[in-house]
Amino acid sequence: MHTAGFGAGSTDDNCAVRGRIVTPDGVVDDAVVGIEGTRITSVRTAADWSAANPDSALPDVAGTVLPGLVDIHCHGGGGRTFTTTDRTAIAAAAAHHLRNGTTTLLASLVSAPPDVLLDQLATLRPLVEDGTIDGIHLEGPFLSAQRCGAQDPRYLIEPDVDLTERLLAAGGGTIRAMTLAPELPGFTRVAHLLCANEVVVALGHSDASYTEFAAAVGNDASLVTHLANGMAPLHHRTSGPVAAALIAAARHEVVVEVIGDGVHTDAGFVALVFAAARGSVALITDAMAAAGMPDGDYDLGPQRVRVVDGVARVASGSIAGGTTTLLEVLRRTVVDSGVPLVDAVRAASATPATVVGFGERRGAVEVGYDADLVVVDSMFTLQRVMRRGSWLP
């Protein structure tokens, strides 16, 4: 039986995808990924696949086959936001990113009044449980007012154990990560509580010194939220959080998020981060509702955002999230920053998957992993997306 590159002619429960395969260890120029049900069952060179399937013709070449992309910091897209109690809007935002190659997605919330956050968590929870999204990231409200960025300063408070317990209860095990500023009073108690509940402690929106930040990274914290954004800039006499994070990442003690969209960081900074901390970088979008949409006015939590020339800003002038997809961030990382393809793909798949607890089944084209695939051409133009063994229509 002839099996086309996208699995045409095969059943949904048994298909083969041939192409240039990007694995965690390298690039195989001509290989075939075997899929049964929702899992990858084999990854073989084309020659080995033919030898194992003597009665079947080789599938057609589909293109470059990447693992499904993993975005652990995203506030919305396609004109819809995750910072809402509208389940239809949340599902539409998730679908926008899935159509563009992100097969594993955390919905990120921003600082808001406690009751609002609790309501939003109650709305998101069943959407995690039914697989619409894959988890929740709380970005706030325990953040620094001095480095609030697009977070609404009216709702920033010191880390509070009682509120954290209420948030965890509302999330019901669906919260994967929470961003806190490590210099704030109460940080240590809340960080311990989060760790005890298997929630990743992320450091961000912080005015900490180098010493304060270094004491937290690699201890309770295993993630740094959008490196260089929402923190003091790197300076040779005041090295601050950026230096502390890069040193810890170079030692593989922490993973650093990077918004490689050409707006939040430039190509040179992205290249620097990979050169310093290869293997400890997670590419993210920090996308908000305007991702994939024209310029105009949008919402990010309790604040109004205006997008001009693709750049989102709140009234204070601070950049207010991204307007692109993770596949575009990946393309920029390879093409503009010169990061090797395998390293960039790992940063958009395996590394973020691992840091939030999906590492044994997501983020790689490997036997036993979920059959999440993204097929692109040589210019990173999206061809097709597979999630859990099923091609998107």
* pLDDT, mean over the chain: 94
Least confident of 21-25, 40-44, 81-85, 216-220: 216-220
H or E segment and range at residue 39 = strand 39-45
pLDDT band at residue 6, thresholds of 50, 70 and 90?
A: very low
Q: At residue 71, does pLDDT exceed 60?
A: yes
Query: Higher pLDDT residue, 354 or 13?
Result: 354
Q: Residue 12 — pLDDT band, cuts 50, 70, 90?
A: very low
What band does 247 get if pLDDT is binned at 50, 70 and 90? very high
Give the predicted TM-score (pTM) of the model: 0.95
Beta bridge mates, 42: 34
- Give CA–CA dist 206/228, Å, rounded: 10
**Exposure b/e, 183-197, CB count within 10 A at least 16 = b:** bbeebeebbebbeee
Taking 80 as the threshold, does the pLDDT of residue 49 lie above it?
yes
pLDDT of 1 over the 70 cut: no
Q: What confidence score (pLDDT) does residue 360 get?
A: 86
**Using one digit for the tens of pLDDT, what is the confidence trace for 255-281?**
999 999 999 999 999 999 999 999 999
Is the distance from CB of 240 to CB of 213 less than 8 angstroms? yes
Considering the chain, what percentage of its residues have pLDDT values greater than 90? 90
Distance CA 141, CA 265 (A): 24
**Exposure string for 213-236, b = 16+ CB within 10 A, e = fewer:** bbbbbbbbbbbbbbbbbbbbebee
Strand order in the sheet with 69-71: 69-71, 102-110, 135-139, 175-180, 200-203, 221-224, 255-259, 281-284
Catalogue the long-range contacts made by 186-192 (C-beta closer than 8 Å, 24 or more residues apart).
186/142, 186/158, 186/159, 186/160, 186/161, 187/142, 187/159, 187/216, 188/220, 189/159, 189/161, 190/142, 190/159, 190/160, 190/161, 190/164, 191/159, 191/216, 191/220, 191/221, 192/220
Mean pLDDT along residues 92-97: 98
Query: What's the confidence (pLDDT) of residue 359?
Result: 86
Contact indicator for 265, 281 with CB cutoff of 8 Å = no
Q: What is the DSSP letter of 193?
A: H
Residues 160, 286, 137, 201, CA torsion sign: negative
Residue 39 pairs in a beta bridge with: 36, 370
Q: Alpha carbon 282 to chain centroid distance? A: 7
Do the strands 255-259 and 281-284 form a parallel or antiparallel pair, or are they unpaired? parallel
Closest by CA position to 96, among listed 333, 328, 355, 369? 328
Return the amino acid letter for 289.
A
Q: Range with the lowest mean pLDDT among 18-22, 123-127, 149-153, 173-177?
A: 149-153
For residue 9, pLDDT beyond 80: no
Nearest-CA neighbor of 96 among 122, 115, 77?
Answer: 77
Strands 175-180 and 80-81: unpaired
How does residue 181 score in pLDDT terms, banded at 50, 70 and 90? very high
- pLDDT 10s digits, 371-384: 999 999 999 999 99
Res 13: pLDDT: 54
Mean pLDDT of 321-340: 97
Decide if 376 contacts 327 (C-beta within 8 A): yes
- pLDDT tens digit sequence for 208-234: 999 999 999 877 899 999 999 999 999
Sign of the alpha-carbon dihedral angle for 364, 368, 374, 377: positive
What percentage of residues in the chain have a pLDDT greater than 70? Answer: 97
Q: Residue holding tokens 């298909």?
A: 15
